[in-house]
């Protein structure tokens, strides 16, 4: 780790069970109860779960049927994304009282670079504590925080004392902290990769650190160098406040599986209406349209077409989506349908502004 990196002070703020906590805040009758946002006991997928539900094993991306089986008293509520975005804006306003170097990852988490900050406070730990206290006082929700010399370690640390806690990993503690962690805790190592590492005898950060870069590149290709660096606490990515939207999409999970393209046509119109609203709101258009089909066996198929021109009008989106729908026969009955636009016109603008630092974000919401 370079001396310059050791001087950086990065905070990762992560709201605690954000969607579920907002619902419990707005409806006191839900406080203290096992709650799932999204899905229902017969269909759909859980978007978020309260900590009371998590004790039973309920997790996001889990089917509503499985969640109800694990927690018979589980209460399902419909997501209210407009409300979540409203709360998220209030929280980000607090962040900007301390620094303009704020990089949102989603509605409920963000990185802050407070190496130099508006409060002239030399302690990132105290800044994180003050931010969490303000969020609770001004918004009514709890947040957790991780503080360290880079984004990678800060993100891991924010999960260490959840909920409503924080952890600081000082420069001289980074390597030791990472060596003792299970590699499943490493941001960027998913379930499949973790299983592969286990098979290779890599269980902790220390095990990973003992592998050469050649070994890791041989087994994990281009990701090998990333794994080699992160187990040593090396992660030089800066906090980047400017984000470029890379795709915009909308999708719908059906209460009953649909078996015919005729029925799916009507759903395409509904989804395209929603997609057009999002495109207009963000003042962007795209050339590549992708149709996503999730079948009753949970297998996913995507079909895409790239046009010679940018589109954002729902009628054009509908025409292309229907063409993709009839591109080939359905493999099975369909439980979810989605439409997204990629290859956006804001990417052309980005290329003409090389000094603009940015990272990508995907605008994708599910609605039942």
**pLDDT at residue 277 greater than cutoff 50:** yes
**pLDDT at residue 146 greater than cutoff 60:** yes
Q: Is residue 60 part of a domain?
A: yes
**pLDDT at residue 360 greater than cutoff 60:** no
Q: Is residue 224 part of a domain?
A: yes
Q: Which structural domain, as residue segments, surrounds residue 45? A: 19-80
The count of domains in the chain is 4
Residue closest to 2 by CA, chosen among 143, 154, 177, 171: 171
Q: Is residue 237 part of a domain?
A: no
Please check whether residues 226 and 254 belong to one and the same domain.
no
Q: Is residue 118 part of a domain?
A: yes
CATH number at residue 73: 3.40.1170.60
Return the beta strands (E) in the chain as ranges: 10-15, 35-37, 48-49, 75-77, 102-106, 109-113, 143-148, 166-168, 243-258, 286-295, 300-311, 334-344, 359-367
How many other CB atoms sit within 10 Å of the CB of residue 7? 10
Please check whether residues 12 and 139 belong to one and the same domain.
yes
CATH number at residue 274: 3.30.1490.100
Say if CB 174 and CB 229 are below 8 A apart: no
* DSSP code per residue over 260-280: -HHHHHHHHHHHHHHHHHHHH
Q: What is the pLDDT of residue 353?
A: 38
Please check whether residues 205 and 100 belong to one and the same domain.
no
Handedness of CA 81, 87, 93, 98 (dihedral sign): negative
Mean pLDDT value of segment 143-160: 96
Q: What percent of the chain is predicted at pLDDT more than 90?
A: 75
- pLDDT 10s digits, 15-44: 999 999 999 999 999 999 999 999 888 878
Q: Grade residue 282 by pLDDT with cuts at 50, 70 and 90.
A: confident
User: Residue 307, SS3?
Assistant: strand
Please check whether residues 126 and 205 belong to one and the same domain.
no
CATH number at residue 163: 3.30.70.270
Please check whether residues 7 and 142 belong to one and the same domain.
yes
Please check whether residues 195 and 338 belong to one and the same domain.
no
Q: What is the pLDDT of residue 363?
A: 46
Q: Grade residue 206 by pLDDT with cuts at 50, 70 and 90.
A: very high
Last residue of a domain, one of 30, 55, 80: 80
Please check whether residues 10 and 152 belong to one and the same domain.
yes
Please check whether residues 99 and 150 belong to one and the same domain.
yes
Mean pLDDT value of segment 186-207: 93
Determine the straight-line distance between the first and last CA of the chain, rounded to whole angstroms.
47
Q: Is residue 238 part of a domain?
A: no
Please check whether residues 214 and 313 belong to one and the same domain.
no
Q: What is the pLDDT of residue 44?
A: 80
CATH number at residue 211: 1.10.150.20
Q: What percent of the chain is predicted at pLDDT more than 70?
A: 92
Q: What is the pLDDT of residue 354?
A: 38
User: Residue 185, SS3?
Assistant: helix
Last residue of a domain, one of 33, 63, 80: 80
Burial 17-33 (b: 16+ CB within 10 A, else e): bbbbbbbbeeeeebeee
Range of 15-19, 58-62, 248-252, 355-359 with top mean pLDDT: 15-19
The more confident residue out of 256 and 115 is 115
**pLDDT at residue 358 greater than cutoff 70:** no
Q: Is residue 55 part of a domain?
A: yes
User: Residue 292, SS3?
Assistant: strand
Q: What is the pLDDT of residue 347?
A: 63
As beta bridge partners, residue 63 has: 45
Q: What is the pLDDT of residue 356?
A: 35
Q: Is residue 278 part of a domain?
A: yes
Please check whether residues 12 and 102 belong to one and the same domain.
yes
User: Which residues are the active-site residues?
Assistant: 109
Burial 36-68 (b: 16+ CB within 10 A, else e): bbbbbeebbbbbbbbbbbbebebebebbbeebb
């Amino acid at each position: 780790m370079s001396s310059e990196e050791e001087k950086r002070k990065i905070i990762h703020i992560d709201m605690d069970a954000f969607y579920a906590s907002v619902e419990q805040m707005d409806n006191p009758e839900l406080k203290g109860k096992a709650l799932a946002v999204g899905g229902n006991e017969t269909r759909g997928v859980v978007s978020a779960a309260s900590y009371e539900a998590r004790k039973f094993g309920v997790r996001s991306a889990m089917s509503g049927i499985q969640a109800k089986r694990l927690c018979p008293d589980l209460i399902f509520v419909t997501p209210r994304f407009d409300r979540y975005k409203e709360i998220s804006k209030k929280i980000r306003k607090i962040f900007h009282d301390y620094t303009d170097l704020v990089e949102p990852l989603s509605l409920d988490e963000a990185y802050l670079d407070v190496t130099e900050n508006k409060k002239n406070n030399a302690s990132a730990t105290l800044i994180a504590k003050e931010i969490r206290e303000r969020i609770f006082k001004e918004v009514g929700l709890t947040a957790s925080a991780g503080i360290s010399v880079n984004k990678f370690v800060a993100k891991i640390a924010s999960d260490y004392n959840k909920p409503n806690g924080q952890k600081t990993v000082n420069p001289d503690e980074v390597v030791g902290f990472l060596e003792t962690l299970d590699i499943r805790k490493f941001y960027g190592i998913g379930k499949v990769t973790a299983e592969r590492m286990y098979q290779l005898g890599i269980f902790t950060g220390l095990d990973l650190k003992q592998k050469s870069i050649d070994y890791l590149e041989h087994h994990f290709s281009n990701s090998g160098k990333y794994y080699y660096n992160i187990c040593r606490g090396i992660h030089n990515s800066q906090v980047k406040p400017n984000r470029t939207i890379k795709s915009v999409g909308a999708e719908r999970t059906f209460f009953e599986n649909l078996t015919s393209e005729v029925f799916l046509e009507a759903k395409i119109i509904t989804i395209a209406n929603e997609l057009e609203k999002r495109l207009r709101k963000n003042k962007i258009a795209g050339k590549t349209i992708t149709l996503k089909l999730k079948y009753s066996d949970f297998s996913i198929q995507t079909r895409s077409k790239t046009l010679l021109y940018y589109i954002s009008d729902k009628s054009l989106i509908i025409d292309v989506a229907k063409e993709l729908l009839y591109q080939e026969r359905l493999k099975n009955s369909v439980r979810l349908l989605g439409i997204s636009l990629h290859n956006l016109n804001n990417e052309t603008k980005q290329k003409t502004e090389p000094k603009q630092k940015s990272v990508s974000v995907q605008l994708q919401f599910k609605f039942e």
